[in-house]
Structure 1
Amino acid sequence: MDVLSDLLQRAQANDALVRQIIARGPWSVTYADVPSLSVVATLGGSACLRLDDGVPRDLAAGDIALITGVGSYTIADDPATPAYYVIRGGQKYTIDGDPVEGREYLAPRTYGDGLPGATTMVRGAYELRGDVGRRLLALLPPLAVVSATPQTRPALDLLTVEVAREEPGQDAVLRRLLDFVLVLALRAWCASPEAKLPSWYQALTAPGVGDALRFIHEDPAHRWSVAELAAKVGLSRATFAARFTKLVGQPPLTYLTAWRMSLAADLLRTTTATIATVAHQVGYEDPFAFSVAFKRTHHQSPTTWRNQEGSVGRHGGA
């Protein structure tokens, strides 16, 4: 499995939400208390999106916006349209804070007015938690806009059809389609000149180094050595170590340890496995050696980390 796929698989929560909006201007919706990652796409018509800083970004048909690390954002038909409604905690309020009873549902997961000339948008939300989630979110700025491409448009069209259906297994279908759209948008963003990517991502396509990263992610519990990784990618030990360190920003075994500690932190946070079991799952036969490495990375023992973070993870906190 390639590294980006590994991050996506490990980081995603199971409570992804997909909703569709079909509305004719003027309209404006502010989303407050937003999750760690939102995917907003304009399917027909046009819209604008602005974050907390108030700077609007136009979205044409087929554009996809990825939003991370913000407290709120607003979607509207036009930058000049004043705020109308706020969605907070799943409840709709007026801008003055009064609850709005009921919504105009046009179909399952679809609301708005559906009048001629309306803009159609789809919004997906993920709550990515833990160390692995943070690694994935580090690929993105607060707002990344991906322009429509021949690759993304068919995926959005399919998501549009499915979001308004109600059949057995529909939630699973929508989750996988949203994942598909997210992967396409991430890949397009990371290939754009605007992206400022971490060193490890830039190294994924480098000869030898990219393969070594894939080996580490495929089997993080393996007792990797620099010599073994170098042999598997067809380089001398010295050449491989120097190239990996230059491109990734860390020596191979330092990267391996950091990745193991990220996995361990999430296991401690979300499971009841013993410390010894977690240690074994991330490549440590000796729980004491694992505890030393974990404390060096997280500045807490595994037990203390679990006591402070584990209940948060099991109850859905950020």
Structure 2
Amino acid sequence: MAGDALSDLLKTVRLTGATFFDIEGHDPWAVHSPAPASILPKVLPGADHLISYHVVTAGHCFARIIGDEPIPMEAGEVVVFTRSDPHIMSSHPDLRADPPTADVLDIATAGRMPFYINCAGGGSRSVRLICGYLACDALPFNPLLEALPPAIKAGDARGDGGWLGQFIRQAVSEVADKRAGSETVLTKLSELMFVDVLRRYVESLPPQQTGWLAGLRDPHLGKALALIHDRPAHNWTVDALAKESALSRTVLAERFTRIVGMPPMHYLAKWRMQIASELLSAGNSNVASIAADIGYESEAAFSRAFKKMIGVPPSAWRLGVRAAAGSGSDEASETEG
């Protein structure tokens, strides 16, 4: 059930692979990745949020968010920067790198993927990297992003039989062979790799951890979250969710609020608006049908709730007006049952 909620979220926030780089580093070398605002318009216009990742396919290197401690990386490991904070990949933890020029960023819009970059420092080759970006919607509601740390490092402790080992082999093959459809394969591979990193991260969370991912791991809360995601239009109450989740009403309400970070009915309201925003952006349904799809009895009631929670009316969101999104009231329009 918990996996279903994660899958639903990733589909609804439109997770997609964007750009793929093949990087070869010769000591000494350092590469600076800029802030998302300068990358998103080039690699995936229209997306809210950028995630970057670096997979070490051979050798070793260091990854470091600007201002943070360096993260040592070995072959078979991946680091995911969940907010794509400005960061440096380098052959030595103390090396600095100049911010990339527009010419470097323009690589992302020219030619076929993967884009090859040779970091020639004059010495022997110390690393081979497969790097890229993923994009997704952050607005109006993406609880996953709030639950993730800035950086996640994962390694294939299970050896070549694990998913990261398979990802590396397949990605290296696609990069080398450049067969028809390789861009699509690389894009989908990066999405699958990210999901696997998320699952590993969930498995590593300490028992006292809170947040949306911790909620997925809790068998009772995971059931409640899956029910909300599976049937968002259902007339849910806290009593009904508690019964389905094998908890008392009081325990569900307290545990859900403490771990997930908001009451169950508040979460339901926000999730409905996330679904509505995706349907509005797709442009294939009218407002009345969207209202019915997420459990509102009338178009007017839905429109009022959407504007109250998101800050703009549904018609404005459909036209891409997001500047005011999130500035409205954050109170759920439903009352707890």
TM-score w.r.t. the length of structure 2 is 0.75
Q: Distance in 2 between matches of 1:133 and 1:47?
A: 35
Residue 143 (structure 2) aligns with: 135
Q: Distance in 2 between matches of 1:87 and 1:135?
A: 34
Residue 45 (structure 1) aligns with: 59
Counterpart residue identity of residue 20, structure 1:
D
Q: 2:204 aligns with which of 192, 196, 199?
A: 192
Q: Distance in 2 between matches of 1:113 and 1:185?
A: 27
Residue 153 (structure 2) aligns with: 145
Residue 219 (structure 1) aligns with: 231
Counterpart residue identity of residue 146, structure 1:
A
Deviation at residue 199 of structure 1 after TM alignment: 2.8
What are the equivalent positions in structure 2 for 1:93-108 lying under 5 Å apart? none
Residues 274 and 171 (structure 1 numbering): CA distance in 2 closer, same or farther, change over 3 Å?
same
What are the equivalent positions in structure 2 for 1:99-178 lying under 5 Å apart? 109-112=115-118, 117-131=125-139, 134-150=142-158, 151=162, 152-178=164-190
User: What is the identity percentage for the equivalent residue pairs of Structure 1 and Structure 2?
Assistant: 29
Counterpart residue identity of residue 267, structure 1:
L
Residues 302 and 73 (structure 1 numbering): CA distance in 2 closer, same or farther, change over 3 Å?
same
What RMSD, in angstroms, separates the aligned Cα atoms of the two structures?
Answer: 3.5
Deviation at residue 161 of structure 1 after TM alignment: 2.1
Q: Distance in 1 between matches of 2:6 and 2:133?
A: 19
Residues 245 and 193 (structure 1 numbering): CA distance in 2 closer, same or farther, change over 3 Å?
closer
In the alignment, is residue 263 of structure 1 matched against residue 269 of structure 2?
no
Q: 2:70 aligns with which of 56, 63, 87?
A: 56
In the alignment, is residue 19 of structure 1 matched against residue 21 of structure 2?
yes
Cα-to-partner distance string for 1:149-178 (whole Å, 9 max, x where unaligned): 223333323222223322222222212211
Q: 1:75 aligns with which of 89, 112, 118?
A: 89
Residue 8 (structure 1) aligns with: 10
Counterpart residue identity of residue 291, structure 1:
S
Residue 208 (structure 1) aligns with: 220
Q: Distance in 2 between matches of 1:79 and 1:253?
A: 47
SS of the residue corresponding to residue 147 of structure 2 reads: coil
Between 9-18 and 112-121, the greater mean CA deviation after superposition: 112-121
Between 26-35 and 242-251, the greater mean CA deviation after superposition: 242-251
Residues 108 and 209 (structure 1 numbering): CA distance in 2 closer, same or farther, change over 3 Å?
closer
Q: 1:297 aligns with which of 309, 312, 326?
A: 309
SS of the residue corresponding to residue 321 of structure 2 reads: helix
Q: Distance in 2 between matches of 1:233 and 1:16?
A: 38
Q: 2:263 aligns with which of 233, 251, 265?
A: 251
Counterpart residue identity of residue 128, structure 1:
C
Between 81-90 and 37-46, the greater mean CA deviation after superposition: 81-90
Deviation at residue 92 of structure 1 after TM alignment: 6.6
Cα-to-partner distance string for 1:260-297 (whole Å, 9 max, x where unaligned): 01222233344363221321232223111112222231
Residues 171 and 133 (structure 1 numbering): CA distance in 2 closer, same or farther, change over 3 Å?
farther
Q: Distance in 2 between matches of 1:249 and 1:15?
A: 29
Between 24-33 and 128-137, the greater mean CA deviation after superposition: 128-137
Is the 8 Å Cα contact of residues 22 and 113 (structure 1) preserved in structure 2? yes
TM-score w.r.t. the length of structure 1 is 0.79
Unaligned stretches of 5+ residues in structure 2: 41-49, 324-337
Q: Distance in 2 between matches of 1:113 and 1:249?
A: 44
Is the 8 Å Cα contact of residues 283 and 318 (structure 2) preserved in structure 1? no
SS of the residue corresponding to residue 100 of structure 2 reads: strand
Q: Distance in 1 between matches of 2:94 and 2:285?
A: 53
Counterpart residue identity of residue 17, structure 1:
T
Is the 8 Å Cα contact of residues 143 and 212 (structure 2) preserved in structure 1? no
Residues 113 and 66 (structure 1 numbering): CA distance in 2 closer, same or farther, change over 3 Å?
closer
